[in-house]
Every structure is written in C-alpha cells, then in structure tokens.
Amino acid sequence: MFKFLQHIGDYVQNSVQAIQYIGQGLSVTFDHMNRRPITVQYPYEKLIPSERFRGRIHFEFDKCISCEVCVRVCPINLPVVDWEFDQETKKKKLNHYSIDFGVCIFCGNCVEFCPTNCISFTEEYDLCTYDRHELNLDNVAMGRLPYKVTDDPMVTPLRELVYLPKGSLDPHGIPVDAHRAGLFPVEILEQAGEDSKDVNHESISNV
C-alpha cells in the first residue's frame, strides 16, 4: 500500500514538473507573439557583432614561431604552416601560413592554444565569395586589419541584442548614450576582481 502511494506521489510530482516546463516553454512562445518583426536593411545597415564573436581570423606573421600547435589542436588539422629550418639562426623560419575559411568551423581551438597569440578572432562575418577557393586565405590576406562595422561610413551600424538597453528589442532609434542591459566583459572582470579581493580580505581578517 505504501509503495502504491509512493508511485502516485511520484507520478503527481512528475506531472506538475512537466506542466511547469511546458509553461516555461510556452511563455517564451507567447512572449514572441507580442513582438513585431525587425528588419535590418543589409548591407546598408549591419549589426555590430558581440564581443566574443568568432569571425575571420587575423594573423600576425612576425609573432608566429612555426610551432604548429594550431595544427595539432585543430579538429581537422586545417592551418597550413609552411616553414623551413634556418641553419644560420638554428631556428624555424616561417615561409607561408594559411587557413581555408571555407572549411574552418570557427571552433577557436587554434586561437585559444597559440602560445604567442599571433592568431585572433575578428568581428568580420561577411566572408561570402563566388568561388569557395577564394576563402583559402594566406598570411597576407589574414594579416590585413579587420573590417569594422562601426568604421564603415557607408553603413549604419545597429546594436545587436546583447548591446540593447533593458526592454528594447529593436536596434533602430536607440540613443547613442543608452547603456546596455548587461555589463561589459571588462566590467564583469573588474567586478570579479573586486569580489575576489573582498573574499581574500574576509579570509585574512577571519584568520
């Protein structure tokens, strides 16, 4: 009898939880029903990508030490590091470096693990070409400074969702000085630093 009641209790608990989850899901759906479509008039208007956006990779030739770590950590061994051993300096000499962005999955492993930080993500997302082979960029193409939506005089930059003030969904007509809803990564780091200082201070004072 006790077991039977326990089963019923579990069943009721699961049902309530299921209804709760369905309610949560539907609340998102109903929230969207109140929203009007927002059109970005690309290419005259472009969204500013978020801080951690993984766009075309920028490469700094002089900083590369030809260690090939980027190749080893890449899930598809994509970067091509063409180097030779310089007998005079007894060091590797980089000749060419390339990444095929038609194949790259922008996972970020190479950027994350490069010991000299000579590769970094940019906010360049507009990589379309008529021929996919043109996406195979060499060190010269990867070395050029990235395109910035905010620097282009022909484009109206629009704030992406993460930059919008609280309660706003439409990036059009947002005042320039309107603060966004969340904190900037720098502000989060500063806050984290202050918190850790407070924790250290407390632990020292407890000692």
Annotated binding site for [4Fe-4S] cluster: 64, 67, 70, 74, 104, 107, 110, 114
Our measurement of the distance from residue 22's CA atom to the centroid of its chain's CA atoms, rounded to an integer in Å, reads: 30
Min separation Cβ 5 and ligand SF4, Å: 55
Q: Which residues are annotated as a binding site?
A: 64, 67, 70, 74, 104, 107, 110, 114
CB 94 within 8 A of CB 157: no
Alpha helix stretches (DSSP H) within the chain:
2-33, 69-73, 109-113, 139-143, 185-206
Query: Under the rule (CB under 6 A), what is the footprint of ligand SF4?
Result: 64-70, 73-76, 78-79, 81, 99, 104-110, 114-116, 118-119
Min separation Cβ 192 and ligand SF4, Å: 27
Min separation Cβ 138 and ligand SF4, Å: 13
CB 111 within 8 A of CB 120: yes
Our measurement of the distance from residue 99's CA atom to the centroid of its chain's CA atoms, rounded to an integer in Å, reads: 19
DSSP state, 157?
A: E
Min separation Cβ 87 and ligand SF4, Å: 20
DSSP state, 149?
A: G
Phi and psi at residue 102, in whole multiples of 5°? -80, -15
